[in-house]
Amino acid sequence: MLLRCARRACRSGACEVRVTHPSALPAALGRNLATSSRRWLVTGAAGFIGSHLIEALLRADQHVVALDNFSTGHRRNLDLVTAGLTREQRARFEFIEGDIRDLATCARACAGVDVVLHQAALGSVPRSLADPLATHDSNVNGFLNMLVAARDAKVSRFVYAASSSTYGDSPALPKVEDVIGKPLSPYAVTKYVNELYADVFGRCYGLACVGLRYFNVFGARQDPEGAYAAVIPRWARALLLHETVRINGDGETSRDFCYVDNAVQANLLAALTERADAVNTVYNVAAHRQTSLNQLFDAMRGELALRFPRIAAAQAQYQDFRPGDVRHSLADITRAQTLLGYAPTHDVNQGLAQAIDWYVSQFATEATS
């Protein structure tokens, strides 16, 4: 079960941790899921967003097939999900350890499935710059395998993780789905190719596809380790463990940080919509709020200082701007609001409060040592 630490100052240097349930789905989505039990395939299920998707679906008494090869996902994420389920819910869960780069594995996973939520990919702009071949193999070849398998299995809906990196060097703000620039990294190229392939499979084969351009999704279970860790978990861990927080550039780079519950909502809305004009297109998934890295650091330091007062004195170090990154990012979410009924439940501050609680629960012992 997901551990969430109460928002209170820590006593005697230790944080009291209490167990609560993860955020509930919006009422309308819950009612829709309750009307019938579908069979869902979630790829990348042991990863950050994938594990939240399978948790939401299993708690809604859906049948879930999960596919992952553990190249970037973790078994502990699956354990956290299944530990909080009833016996009946666990019985509706099937896990396949396999790789989307193998077409036979994709076909096996798609057999009898109603909806695919495709999250599996090699993420990270820096990783793609270091190893463009591996990124292409997973993100393009693997994606095409999944499309072919879904088409052959006559899947009713194929929802996939697209990326805000597709906007490339376009300076326009806010980002509107139909206005993109030149890609700035191999990763961005692969995610745009995904959109092109999905569009072709929709027009040529009748596969109903929906792409979700994620904007800096964050939350519990996001990995703080490694060279390609996202900024929020990496900074949270560094602050808790008395390590230096390093900011790329001058800190005025901005992002539209999106809490993971918002991404889960968008996936389910895209999967369940019955509007013909809402499929075979792409949507921005974000909170429509611009936050600079300096503002983010101040907010995270303030949240953590409520539990560990000494963190209030922490200072960041600045380093060179990272190649392949854009300067500013802010999403226009009008299309998702209008066609899908998307309504973010968490802004960046609300999301940070919940996400940081989880990181405290993971690193509290080390933080007080």
Residues with catalytic roles: 187
Contact 268, 29 (CB under 8 A): yes
Contact 102, 79 (CB under 8 A): no
Distance CA 219, CA 261 (A): 8
Query: Which residues are within 8 A (CB) of 339 and not within 5 positions of it... i.e. 6 or more apart?
Result: 273, 275, 277, 278, 281, 283
Query: Which residues are within 8 A (CB) of 271 and not within 5 positions of it... i.e. 6 or more apart?
Result: 40, 115, 117, 157, 159, 210
Distance CA 330, CA 175 (A): 6
